[in-house]
Structure 1
Amino acid sequence: MAKHIKIALVGNPNTGKSTLFNLLTGLNQKIGNFPGITVDKKIGYCTLADSRQAEVVDLPGTYSLYPKSKDERIVFQVLADPKNPSHPDVVVLVADATNLRRNLLVYTQVADLGLPVILALNMTDMAKKEGIDVDVNKLSERLGIQVVAISARSNFGLAALKDALSNATAIATQVHGADMNVLAPGAIDQVKHLLKIDNDYLALQILHQHEFLDVYTVEEHAGIEQIKASAGFESSRIQTEETISRYRYLGTVLTGVVKDTGAERKFIFSDKLDAVLTNKFWGFLIFIAILFFVFNSIFSWSSYPMDLIESAFVTLTELGHKYLPNGILTNLLLDGVVAGLGGVVIFIPQIAILFAFISILEDSGYMARVTFMMDKIMRKFGLSGKSVVPMIGSLACAVPSIMSARNIESWKDRIITIMVAPLVSCSARLPVYTLLISLVVPEKMVWGFINLQGLTLMGMYLISIVAAVFVAFIMKFLIKAKEKSYFIMELPVYRMPRWTNVLYTMYEKSKTFVFEAGKVIIAISIILWVLASYGPPSRFKAIDDKYAAIEAQKDSTQISTLERDRSAEKLENSYAGILGHVIEPAIKPLGFDWKIGIALITSFAAREAFVGTMATIYSVDSDEEVATIRNKMRSARNSETGLPVFTFATAFSLMLFYAFAMQCMSTVAIVYRETKSWKWPVIQLVYMTVMAYIASLIAYQLLK
């Protein structure tokens, strides 16, 4: 008996495949990329009923093995190539029991590849509520495989599925009576002979899409092309014939297996909801109201836990300075590492709340309705309806959203989507917005129930979305393409969100934020502390001599004030200060001083680094060891005017700069990987920087 097995989860989109993956693997999972491809690869581990360890791979959702996008292509590459690192020992085909006929099309294709298959019949509880009765035993008998009734949302059938996996054999599954040679007589046998394979359907798939398989040599690819040419192989016609043949077969399989007594009332509730939620007028009002609620909640619900976290870090810093020995290492630890870490951790409540709402909207089926509503509007601005998914996803992070643009078939629509997606405010901008808003916008309620700070935050997100649509409209005329785009999307039925899934998403995204962004921010904080604590020796010696002479003539009260002045002057003459002063003339018209200039430079690695940079700069600059970052920034004064540094005008100028600027190395890198050219990321970097500078300049000059 093998010590461990590889399991691949395959199925249509919206069948609960990812929910089952989370249920099987729990927190024992990781996310990477498929080799050589920037497509997310979710791998988890679980223990089966016979105590064997199983590696579970969650493959992208697909309706067929004939891919319409790069994500769907992965399914074919993994299943058809035995040398692929993710090639499974057994496939779990996850099917929606409420729409079995459509879901089983991909099952018949996977089975004909000769892979052992177990059918996980998901959403059986919903099927019963809708009057659909599936005879599992009869279906198992007709297909000749193990069929397990499950409900991933209610944790039903998981033990039975693990038992089935423990009993899975290496015997290949085949669709009874399917003769692939009828579709391409002669050509299939020639491919089998050329490549030394014995599976008819694999040979047919290779004829269709061999160029996506790296396992074959250049000569073998050329040989396949020659076979196709001599046999007059017409891929689209043969695909159509195959699909019709498979549906005819499924019709016979499901006769007497599926009884639908609720066909008339099945979609009544969903249709009634859609009549309101996708209405041209009420639908948009409801969407705006939901946005109001989300952003209001981000501020209102997070204030108490954020205050607790902030107080905890203040106490930690106070205790550190009290009990740790004075010296360079203590200052580095407290003013560099702890200050930078505090600037990250404090925003966990807001990040968690944001992703909780995104997860609820996606899980319930509402996000798909938003995409549907926005289709006609997006087309007017040069985008496809499919562009809405990456743009909505950009509210979380632009990197996976740009990767998800692979689902857009039109090259022009895809490029425009990639170019404007980073303009939509992501979760990395959230710490910047919330910090600056808390400094200049009073915490009060409007009309008795709307938080003014939450309303301002929503305004920043809406500004970013409007900017993205405006830029897309301009690019519609600048980028030329001949092909036409189309929008086809299946609206899932409304479902109650699975709350454990929502909680898991909150945990996973918060962890990613802390560990991914945190690593960058802490590294920057340490480097920045060194740059802000040291400078040219001659400058620092002159400052020490100056204040030593002054101290000899002052009393103890004045000496305390002098220490603060000495720290401020040393910071200004440190390496960080010198760098900030170099760029200050360029950013002064925007209302930014040299300290903000340092933050603009460091936050190019990650936008969130702005907060960590401010925490480090003001920790080095201040003798108030127990003051919070917000209090330090609120009390900061302009050395020339004596006015607060972070005025209403400066704060909004800075927020607009971060709203539009490409302050993210990861996004630049992913745009290069997706477009295979430096042309597009360079254009993106330049236009977003110019746009940010102009918007920031106008805002500051009008508001100051």
Structure 2
Amino acid sequence: MLADLKVALVGNPNTGKSTLFNLLTGLNQKIGNFPGITVDKKTGFCKLPSGKSAEIVDLPGTYSLYPKSKDESIVFQVLADKNNSSHPDVIVLVADSTNLRRNLLLFSQVADLGIPMLLALNMADMAKKEGISIDIDKLAQRLGVQVVNISARKGEGLPALKQAIAQITSLATQTSSIDAKSFAPEAVAAIKQKIATDNDYYALQVLHQHEHLAFFTDKEQEEIEAIEIGNGFDTVKLQGEETVARYRHLSKVLSDVVVDTGAKKKFTLTDKIDAILTHKVFGFIIFFFILFFIFNAIFSWSSVPMDMIEGGFAWLTEKGHEHLPAGVLTDLLLDGVVAGLGGIVIFIPQIAILFALISILEDTGYMARVTFMMDKIMRKFGLSGKSVVPMIGGIACAVPSIMSARNIESWKDRIITIMVTPLVSCSARLPVYTLLISLVVPDEKVWGVFNLQGLTLMAMYFISIIAAVLVALVFKFIIKAKERSYFIMELPVYRMPRWNNVLFTMYEKSKTFVLEAGKVIIAISIILWVMSTYGPSKRFEAIDAKYDHIEANSKDTVQLATLERDRAAEKLENSYAGLLGQTIEPMIKPLGYDWKIGIALITSFAAREAFVGTMATIYSVEGAEDDGGETRLRDKIGAAKDPATGLPIFTFATAFSLMLFYAFAMQCMSTVAIVYRETKSWKWPMIQLVYMTAMAYVAALIAYQFLK
């Protein structure tokens, strides 16, 4: 879709920029990558009052044009390069009305680049509530741009903002805030001539950041470097001088523009809440109970919809076999695709609940407090306080969490965070945990309050987090680095969650889970069904001859009733999948696993959640129903017996051995790929793959041998 106008949203973190983006674009958006880099690029489209369409680009949040992280460096790269596909015609700088002075530092830098822009004062409702009054007409006059009051959370001011975007022209003349040339006259003049620009501040920024600008050739980079050295250009010193000059200018701009009558009361409520939630003792106790509430809710709230989905797929399979013509295609569709997909769709309620509750914690501002609380503890284990964000995000998915580690300034802290984040139990492990817990842990209350299954699930998550922290401690002594890390983070005020945003997150994450996992599951299910249905012809012929002979000569009605099930089971054991499972069975037997579980371990190396789909496919192919006529996956797995001992396959020891294996094993090709992309080396993902697989095997071995 081609748009008439390209609009970039720029702003500090926590100013509501992403909320405004969602409001402007609705569902008409997509996520990709900026050209040549792995930083997320969010784009969408909206209609303007003039009838024109605008492409909206949500640039990463940054406090300044001088980057402190990989994400922040994108902002100037996009604004500096006119040939960049994301380079805007118009900039909307989103500022927090309750902290205008700090937000206008970035505004003044961007304005000096000379790109047409306007200022959107977000959280206008919060500013009014806190006793902050802003004279937007006087502010607009002094800045030389249109200023619009909005409240993205409430959807207020959106028509006025769209109208302002439609009216902006290339003749917009925002006033310059500093004399950029005065900081390094000779160097700026030389760069202006070199790159053919008449913008002093653009030339100054090129001197500061040229190494981040890929559109300069190697020769041009060398020439710019020579100008720097030749003029004694001191980047750190000049950045400090520029910041002081800008704040001096902003003090004049905001004089009698902002009146704060509630300055003393501004953070009173937030401070009172923080005194409890970030307390060095009570804060951690509260966090523990919040986590327990989440895991208890995952089991308790999802049980009814999960039963409905499970029953629906069982009914669909049963009716399919009744009404569709018998044959290979019907078996493939029902016992392969439908069974495999049903094993994933059933977990949508749990995934939706998990993401909804995490979204609420982020929206209210509580997640930022968790990061703050954990900083001192994390540093003892070689991690930064900012490592908490990727690690907590890892509860949802390791891929975006590893990408979010770009915000960590220290190379050592960032590498360690990347290396341990996949250990944190993600949503892909959730189907495995819940299936196994429901098999071996009774659905009972402890002390009349705590759900035993919820406690077990929380224990699995705590085990994974403790493992991640301990492994980080090991890497702290292995990986060497000279630079020291630091932790700077702004704590937002507490706010009510945006329920529309929570619902949108539930929908998007559930859809992504089903579509992304579904592609893998369907592909694996089809391949697995073929491998489970067919085998070496001589073996299958021998099995058919054996059971045909029994059928022809036996008068035992009980034996005849189970004949087809026994035939299917023996064929599965001698199929290509069965032979593959039996090949690795000697290696996994000490862990308590049979060859069927072995097949699931192999298929789930593509994606962990494939375990459930694989088991569903195997038990559908094997035949199906037990004596009670049950067709549901949990019933089939629970009824599975070891042919040698006659005992259940999935005992307490086996289930916990499996959960620990999945807790530690690197069974996610997407994670391997993203670690390679982020580190630009196969060294780190290979180390990760080896150490996590070794941890998984040893932990599962100890658990089974100890519990059996």
TM-score range for the pair, normalised by the shorter chain length: over 0.9
Residue 264 of structure 2 corresponds to 264
Q: In the aligned structure 1, how far is the partner of 2:175 from the partner of 2:573? A: 75
Q: CA deviation at 1:219?
A: 1.9
* One-letter amino acid matched to 2:681: S
Identical positions, percent:
73
Q: In the aligned structure 2, how far is the partner of 1:231 from the partner of 1:37? A: 32
Would you say the 8 A contact 2:295–2:455 is kept in 1? yes
Deviations 1:143-179 (A, max 9, x none): 1111110001111111111111111212354333532
Q: In the aligned structure 2, how far is the partner of 1:653 from the partner of 1:646? A: 10
* 3-state SS of paired residue (2:637): helix
Residues 143 and 384 (structure 1), Cα distance of their counterparts in 2 relative to 1, 3 Å cut: same
Would you say the 8 A contact 1:111–1:172 is kept in 2? no
* One-letter amino acid matched to 2:674: I
Residue 698 of structure 1 corresponds to 702
2:670 counterpart of 1:666: yes
The TM-score normalised by the length of structure 2 is 0.98
Would you say the 8 A contact 1:8–1:56 is kept in 2? yes
Aligned ranges 1:593-604 → 2 under 5 Å: 593-604=594-605
Aligned ranges 1:176-575 → 2 under 5 Å: 176=176, 178-555=178-555, 558-575=559-576
* One-letter amino acid matched to 1:662: M
2:136 counterpart of 1:136: yes
Deviations 1:260-304 (A, max 9, x none): 000011111111111111101000000001011110001000000
Please say which of residues 619-628 and 348-357 is displaced more in the overlay. Answer: 619-628
Deviations 1:553-594 (A, max 9, x none): 135653331100000000000000000000000000000000
Would you say the 8 A contact 2:409–2:485 is kept in 1? yes
Q: In the aligned structure 2, how far is the partner of 1:396 from the partner of 1:292? A: 16
* One-letter amino acid matched to 1:622: G
* One-letter amino acid matched to 2:20: L
Residue 652 of structure 1 corresponds to 656
Q: In the aligned structure 2, how far is the partner of 1:94 from the partner of 1:6? A: 16
Q: CA deviation at 1:340?
A: 1.1
* 3-state SS of paired residue (2:19): helix
Q: In the aligned structure 1, how far is the partner of 2:271 from the partner of 2:178? A: 38
Q: CA deviation at 1:333?
A: 0.5
Q: In the aligned structure 1, how far is the partner of 2:630 from the partner of 2:85? A: 53
* 3-state SS of paired residue (2:185): coil
2:632 counterpart of 1:631: no
Q: In the aligned structure 1, how far is the partner of 2:3 from the partner of 2:126? A: 36
* 3-state SS of paired residue (1:216): coil
* 3-state SS of paired residue (2:401): helix
* One-letter amino acid matched to 1:587: I
Q: CA deviation at 1:436?
A: 0.5
Q: In the aligned structure 1, how far is the partner of 2:160 from the partner of 2:172? A: 21
Deviations 1:499-545 (A, max 9, x none): 10011000110010001111111111111111111111111111111
* 3-state SS of paired residue (1:50): coil
Q: In the aligned structure 2, how far is the partner of 1:247 from the partner of 1:236? A: 17
Residue 109 of structure 1 corresponds to 109
Would you say the 8 A contact 2:630–2:636 is kept in 1? no
Would you say the 8 A contact 1:429–1:608 is kept in 2? yes
Would you say the 8 A contact 1:398–1:421 is kept in 2? yes
Q: In the aligned structure 2, how far is the partner of 1:606 from the partner of 1:34? A: 26
Q: CA deviation at 1:108?
A: 0.9
Residues 530 and 272 (structure 1), Cα distance of their counterparts in 2 relative to 1, 3 Å cut: same
Q: In the aligned structure 2, how far is the partner of 1:255 from the partner of 1:190? A: 36
Would you say the 8 A contact 1:384–1:485 is kept in 2? yes
Would you say the 8 A contact 1:318–1:626 is kept in 2? no
Q: In the aligned structure 1, how far is the partner of 2:300 from the partner of 2:630? A: 25
Q: In the aligned structure 2, how far is the partner of 1:592 from the partner of 1:660? A: 17
Paired positions, count = 703
* One-letter amino acid matched to 1:652: F
Aligned ranges 1:45-84 → 2 under 5 Å: 45-84=45-84
Q: In the aligned structure 1, how far is the partner of 2:340 from the partner of 2:287? A: 36
Q: In the aligned structure 2, how far is the partner of 1:305 from the partner of 1:169? A: 53
Q: In the aligned structure 2, how far is the partner of 1:135 from the partner of 1:176? A: 20
1:643 to 639, 644, 647: 647
Note the residue ranges of structure 1 that are not aligned, 5 or more in a row.
Answer: none
Deviations 1:197-221 (A, max 9, x none): 2211111110001111121222211
Q: In the aligned structure 1, how far is the partner of 2:29 from the partner of 2:413? A: 34
Q: In the aligned structure 1, how far is the partner of 2:128 from the partner of 2:179? A: 35
Q: CA deviation at 1:407?
A: 1.3
Note the residue ranges of structure 2 that are not aligned, 5 or more in a row.
Answer: none
Q: Give the RMSD, CA atoms, in angstroms.
A: 1.2
Deviations 1:629-674 (A, max 9, x none): 1111011111111111111100000000000010111111111111
* 3-state SS of paired residue (1:61): coil
Would you say the 8 A contact 2:278–2:369 is kept in 1? yes
2:610 counterpart of 1:606: no
Residue 13 of structure 1 corresponds to 13
* 3-state SS of paired residue (1:320): helix
* 3-state SS of paired residue (2:301): helix
Q: In the aligned structure 1, how far is the partner of 2:29 from the partner of 2:524? A: 29
Q: In the aligned structure 2, how far is the partner of 1:313 from the partner of 1:50? A: 49
* 3-state SS of paired residue (1:486): coil
Q: In the aligned structure 2, how far is the partner of 1:513 from the partner of 1:394? A: 14
Deviations 1:8-62 (A, max 9, x none): 1110000001111111111111111111211111111111112222111111100
* One-letter amino acid matched to 2:620: S
Would you say the 8 A contact 1:134–1:257 is kept in 2? yes
Would you say the 8 A contact 2:112–2:176 is kept in 1? no
Residue 88 of structure 1 corresponds to 88
2:33 counterpart of 1:33: yes
* 3-state SS of paired residue (2:302): helix
Q: In the aligned structure 2, how far is the partner of 1:648 from the partner of 1:312? A: 29
Deviations 1:93-149 (A, max 9, x none): 000000000001111111111111111100010011111011111111111111110
Q: In the aligned structure 2, how far is the partner of 1:138 from the partner of 1:183? A: 29
Would you say the 8 A contact 2:145–2:172 is kept in 1? no
* One-letter amino acid matched to 1:516: E
Q: In the aligned structure 2, how far is the partner of 1:172 from the partner of 1:425? A: 51
Q: In the aligned structure 2, how far is the partner of 1:639 from the partner of 1:169? A: 78
Q: In the aligned structure 2, how far is the partner of 1:80 from the partner of 1:583? A: 56
Residue 590 of structure 1 corresponds to 591
Deviations 1:464-510 (A, max 9, x none): 00001111111111222222111111111111111100110001100
* 3-state SS of paired residue (1:587): helix
* One-letter amino acid matched to 1:688: M
Q: In the aligned structure 1, how far is the partner of 2:313 from the partner of 2:551? A: 33
Residue 122 of structure 1 corresponds to 122
Q: In the aligned structure 1, how far is the partner of 2:448 from the partner of 2:17? A: 43
Q: In the aligned structure 1, how far is the partner of 2:510 from the partner of 2:706? A: 37
